[in-house]
């Protein structure tokens, strides 16, 4: 599912920003864009996002903008100053007239003045709090899209239920037509058998052929079981959607079952109406399958 969220927090050291965005994917694929000095926080971010979602190609960006140097934000590198003092003493031993470095020169020496180090624990706590807030907003955005997808899936379920309702009354008519055709064939076969010994079919052979045709054709046109399973699968799919939670994998399975019944219905179709209904069902199922693969 697609989703987007961004959040910012201010601290004494600077500005933290976390951005999360995702696109559809059957699996969970996390990509992090983090400054090198904050790379140690990636495991915490990964844990937070994996606790919230299970599907999607997700990109997480963490940036930290330090504030410009100001009062209390700079410090002297004391070890470096001590080393400079030692070196200056050594130089003085060899060159008694050498002039000592001024304060201004010392302050300009690379590394003498540095930004105060940011407490790692404090920064980690700030990032964790901001990540929780961003993830909540991200999940909310995905829930809004999920509600829209649910409405679409329900509409497809209703359309399939309408198709099943429409073709169910046709089955008795198809069976009745079959019975009439079987009677006509039986009469024809019996007529051939009664024409005399020259007939290639005896009465017993004719009855056996008719019996075989009746059995085979009866199996072919019997779709009541498929329609019953279709109705049951549609009801279960609707129940899964209404129950909510992590429904993606369960709906994947239901799409397989629905497609199996629709294919069987098409294979057994003995009249155009049933063949057309099978095609309509498979089209609706495919539309649902494309979206189901993106749900949590």
Q: For residue range 265-295, list pLDDT tens digits in order.
A: 888 777 788 889 999 999 999 999 888 877 7
pTM of the model: 0.60
Tell whether 60 and 95 lie within a shared domain: no
Region for 295 from its dihedrals, namely left if φ exceeds 0, alpha if ψ lies in -120 to 50, beta otherwise = beta
Question: How many structural domains is the chain composed of?
Answer: 3
Please indicate, yes or no, if residue 33 is contained in any of the structural domains.
yes
Tell whether 239 and 139 lie within a shared domain: no
Please indicate, yes or no, if residue 122 is contained in any of the structural domains.
no
Q: What is the pLDDT of residue 153?
A: 93
Tell whether 199 and 261 lie within a shared domain: yes
**Can you tell me the mean pLDDT for 227-240?**
92
The four Cα atoms 273, 275, 279, 281 give a dihedral, to 10 degrees, of 70
The single residue listed with the structure tokens 């010994």 is 197
How far is residue 74 from each of residues 45, 105, 276, measured CA to CA in Å? 30, 17, 78
Whether residue 45 contacts residue 64, with contact meaning beta carbons closer than 8 Å, is answered with no
Tell whether 233 and 250 lie within a shared domain: yes
Q: What is the pLDDT of residue 180?
A: 72
Tell whether 183 and 288 lie within a shared domain: yes
Region of poorest pLDDT, from 76-85, 153-162, 249-258? 76-85
Tell whether 157 and 262 lie within a shared domain: yes
Q: What is the pLDDT of residue 220?
A: 59
Could you tell me the residue range of the domain that residue 164 belongs to? 150-293
Tell whether 99 and 174 lie within a shared domain: no
Tell whether 65 and 78 lie within a shared domain: no
Region of poorest pLDDT, from 43-57, 201-215, 226-240? 201-215
Please indicate, yes or no, if residue 120 is contained in any of the structural domains.
no
pLDDT at 81 over 80: yes
Tell whether 9 and 135 lie within a shared domain: yes
Tell whether 195 and 244 lie within a shared domain: yes
Region for 244 from its dihedrals, namely left if φ exceeds 0, alpha if ψ lies in -120 to 50, beta otherwise = left
Question: Residues of the chain with pLDDT > 90: what percent?
Answer: 29
Tell me the pLDDT tens digit for each residue of 95-135.
887 888 888 888 788 877 765 555 567 778 888 899 999 99
Which pair of tokens denotes residue 53? 């979602």
Please indicate, yes or no, if residue 121 is contained in any of the structural domains.
no
Please indicate, yes or no, if residue 111 is contained in any of the structural domains.
yes
- Tell me how far apart the alpha carbons of residues 248 and 257 are, in angstroms, rounded to a whole number: 15
Please indicate, yes or no, if residue 257 is contained in any of the structural domains.
yes
Please indicate, yes or no, if residue 268 is contained in any of the structural domains.
yes
Tell whether 170 and 108 lie within a shared domain: no
Please indicate, yes or no, if residue 189 is contained in any of the structural domains.
yes
Task: Count the Cβ atoms, other than its own, within 10 Å of residue 87.
Answer: 11
Tell whether 156 and 289 lie within a shared domain: yes
- Tell me how far apart the alpha carbons of residues 223 and 294 are, in angstroms, rounded to a whole number: 32
Burial of 159 (0-12, 13-18, 19+ CB in 10 A): middle
């Amino acid at each position: 599912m697609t989703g987007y969220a961004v959040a910012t927090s201010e601290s004494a050291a600077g500005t933290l920003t976390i951005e999360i965005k995702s696109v559809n994917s059957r699996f969970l694929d996390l990509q992090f864009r983090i400054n090198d000095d904050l790379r140690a926080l990636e495991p915490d971010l990964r844990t937070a996002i994996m606790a919230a979602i299970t599907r999607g190609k997700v990109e997480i960006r963490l940036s930290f903008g330090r504030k410009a140097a100001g009062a209390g934000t700079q410090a002297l590198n004391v070890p470096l100053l001590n080393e400079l003092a030692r070196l200056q003493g050594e130089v003085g031993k060899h060159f008694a007239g050498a002039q000592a470095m001024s304060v201004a020169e010392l302050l300009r020496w690379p590394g003498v003045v540095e930004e105060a180090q940011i407490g790692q624990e404090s920064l980690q706590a700030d990032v964790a709090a901001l990540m929780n807030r961003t993830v909540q907003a991200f999940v909310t955005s995905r829930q809004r899209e999920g509600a829209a997808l649910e409405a679409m899936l329900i509409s497809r379920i209703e359309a399939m239920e309408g198709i099943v309702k429409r073709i169910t009354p046709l089955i008795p008519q198809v069976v009745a037509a079959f019975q009439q055709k079987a009677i006509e064939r039986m009469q024809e076969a019996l007529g051939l058998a009664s024409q005399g010994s020259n007939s290639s079919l005896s009465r017993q052979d004719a009855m056996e052929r008719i019996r075989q045709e009746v059995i085979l054709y009866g199996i072919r046109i019997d779709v009541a079981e498929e329609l019953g399973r279709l109705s049951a699968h549609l009801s279960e799919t609707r129940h899964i959607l209404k129950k909510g939670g992590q429904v993606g994998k369960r709906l994947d399975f239901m799409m397989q079952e629905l497609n199996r019944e629709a294919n069987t219905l098409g294979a057994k179709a003995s009249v155009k109406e049933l063949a057309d209904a099978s095609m309509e069902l498979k089209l609706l199922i495919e539309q649902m399958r494309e979206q189901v693969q993106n749900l949590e």
